[in-house]
Amino acid sequence: MTFRARHLLGIEHLAPEEIRTVLDLSEKYVALNQRTEKHSDALKGLTQINMFFENSTRTQASFELAGKRLGADVMNMSVALSSVKKGETLIDTALTLNAMHPDLLVVRHPASGAVDLLAQKVNCAVLNAGDGRHEHPTQALLDALTIRRAKGRIQRLTVAICGDIAHSRVARSNLILLGKMENRVRLIGPPTLMPAGIGEFGCEVYEDMKAGLEGADVVMMLRLQKERMDGGFIPSEREYYHRYGLDAEKLALAKEDAIVMHPGPMNRGVEIDGELADDINRSVIQDQVEMGVAVRMACMDLLARNLRAERGAKAVGVMV
Ligand code: NCD
């Protein structure tokens, strides 16, 4: 097993063998989660604090469940009620929490780079649960696990990522991961929703959805992130659905056995047809949620091993 990281801040920092280690360990946790007794003691004695400065359903719930199933003491810090609302800076909040000796800090923040900054100020393992439009590493890892289970591999696949790429940390982390694992990535969306300089990432960019979907093994849809838009990025939702909404007709252009993914939350009838999203023969959206818990268990387990090893080494140093 190879996993050297001290924090999980982004896919950017992971080597392909570290990604494989996370996925392999996640498989064990998928099996554990399917049992009636779901407990392990990988995080026994450790304290996990979840700090979500942005709304979340799936990610926060799955990090909480993951920590509890591994035996950690888990605290959800409610940012709405905290001193952040009184003007305390992110760093002050982090230092305050750090003084309570957490071992794992799970952070979601609306500003890109905020989680990296925080990781420099605390002496525990930090997991990025999404920072602005930068990265969302556990999402890309759970997507990779879902793909690997459905397709039997996570190499040499054609993956189409469609929709609001510009505002999406999910797209960015997936793009990096899929590239590292030697897949072909196509980005599909209107030019207004395509980030500048995207060509550098070695992917193909399509404005025409039908052309982009042709021959794809995986179709990953993204939510229109209206909260990050400050103007008219699309003419209307109706027009957007017509051109970029995934329905059975457009999906027919992808490979016959192509799978449909969405990180959630979904806007049914905006980026995806509701019936297609619920079609268990094509859609793996519920599998993504299931994989999310297992992947977060694996990530926290691996980081805790490194943390224990590091602290153990220091303790020995003191004794000598
Ligand atoms: C995503 C996020 O928050 O970045 N959701 C998630 O984590 N499941 C995508 C989104 O909000 O559209």
Lateral strand order in the sheet of 204-206: 204-206, 184-188, 158-162, 218-221, 259-261
C-alpha span between 292 and 90 (Å, rounded): 26
Q: Retrieve residue 320's tokens.
A: 């000598």
C-alpha span between 313 and 74 (Å, rounded): 26
For the entire predicted model, the pTM comes to 0.95
DSSP label at residue 165: -
* Ligand 1 center from residue 129 Cα (angstroms): 9
Q: Mind listing the pLDDT tens digit for each residue in 178-191?
A: 999 999 999 999 99
Is the omega angle on the peptide bond into residue 16 within 30 degrees of 0, that is, cis? no
Does the C-beta of 263 come closer than 6 Å to ligand 1?
yes
Q: What 3-state DSSP class applies to 121?
A: coil
* Ligand 1 center from residue 281 Cα (angstroms): 24
C-alpha span between 200 and 66 (Å, rounded): 35
Widest Cα–Cα separation across the chain: 70
Does the C-beta of 169 come closer than 6 Å to ligand 1?
yes
What pLDDT is stored for residue 12 in this prediction? 96
90 has a pLDDT exceeding 50 = yes
Mutational test site, ligand 1, from 11, 56, 139, 165, max ligand atoms within 8 Å of CB: 139
Neighbours of 183 (CB within 10 A): 22
Q: Whose CA is nearest to atom 12 of ligand 1?
A: 223
C-alpha span between 61 and 19 (Å, rounded): 23
The amino acid that residue 88 corresponds to is E
Best CA proximity match to 263, nearest among 108, 131, 115, 144:
144
Q: Mind listing the pLDDT tens digit for each residue in 170-180?
A: 999 999 999 99
From the number of C-beta atoms within 10 Å of its C-beta (0-12, 13-18, 19+), residue 296 rates as: buried
Residue 159 host element (H or E): strand 158-162
263 Cα nearest atom in ligand 1: 8
Percent of the chain with pLDDT over 70: 95
What pLDDT is stored for residue 320 in this prediction? 43
Does the C-beta of 165 come closer than 6 Å to ligand 1?
no
82 has a pLDDT exceeding 90 = no
Best CA proximity match to 117, nearest among 7, 193, 43:
7
* Ligand 1 center from residue 168 Cα (angstroms): 8
* Ligand 1 center from residue 249 Cα (angstroms): 26
Q: What 3-state DSSP class applies to 118?
A: helix
57 Cα nearest atom in ligand 1: 8
* Ligand 1 center from residue 100 Cα (angstroms): 29
Best CA proximity match to 191, nearest among 234, 223, 222:
234
C-alpha span between 20 and 1 (Å, rounded): 9
* Ligand 1 center from residue 263 Cα (angstroms): 6
Q: Mind listing the pLDDT tens digit for each residue in 281-307?
A: 999 999 999 999 999 999 999 999 999
58 Cα nearest atom in ligand 1: 8
108 Cα nearest atom in ligand 1: 3
C-alpha span between 149 and 131 (Å, rounded): 27
Q: What 3-state DSSP class applies to 289?
A: helix
Does the C-beta of 58 come closer than 6 Å to ligand 1?
yes
Q: How far is CA 129 from CA 31, 124, 137, 217, in A?
A: 24, 15, 7, 27
The residues facing 158 across adjacent strands are 184
Q: What 3-state DSSP class applies to 284?
A: coil
* Ligand 1 center from residue 166 Cα (angstroms): 13
